[in-house]
Amino acid sequence: MDFITLCVLAFFGIVCFFLAKARGRNPWLWALLGFFFHVFSLILLFFLPRGDLEDELLALKGKVRVLETQKDLDAPKMKIQ
């Protein structure tokens, strides 16, 4: 393996690392995938949804639950006869 090939492979690994980090994925895994699978891993990383999307949805779901609880606390109490 010559020096230029090694530099190109390292370049794909570095690009995949920073792109995966920005998209909420495991950067070290994607750096290795980028090093070994080059353009294919870069294309796959572009088309996959963000990795942190599930965390955002769970956080949003927790906030909605808190708001519903606060709304229940502020609601007037009904008298049972």
Q: What is the pLDDT of residues 19-72, one digit of tens each?
A: 998 888 888 999 999 999 989 999 998 888 877 655 655 666 665 554 455 555
Say if 34 falls within a structural domain: yes
Characterise 19 by phi-psi region: left (phi > 0), alpha (psi -120 to 50), beta (else): alpha
Say if 79 falls within a structural domain: no
d(CA 24, CA 31): 14
Say if 64 falls within a structural domain: yes
How many domains would you assign to the chain?
A: 1
Say if 41 falls within a structural domain: yes
CB 12 within 8 Å of CB 31: no
Say if 20 falls within a structural domain: yes
CB 42 within 8 Å of CB 12: yes
Q: What pTM, to 2 d.p., does this model score?
A: 0.61
d(CA 40, CA 52): 22
Q: Which domain holds residue 41?
A: 3-74
* Nearest residue to 71 via CA among 59, 79, 63: 63
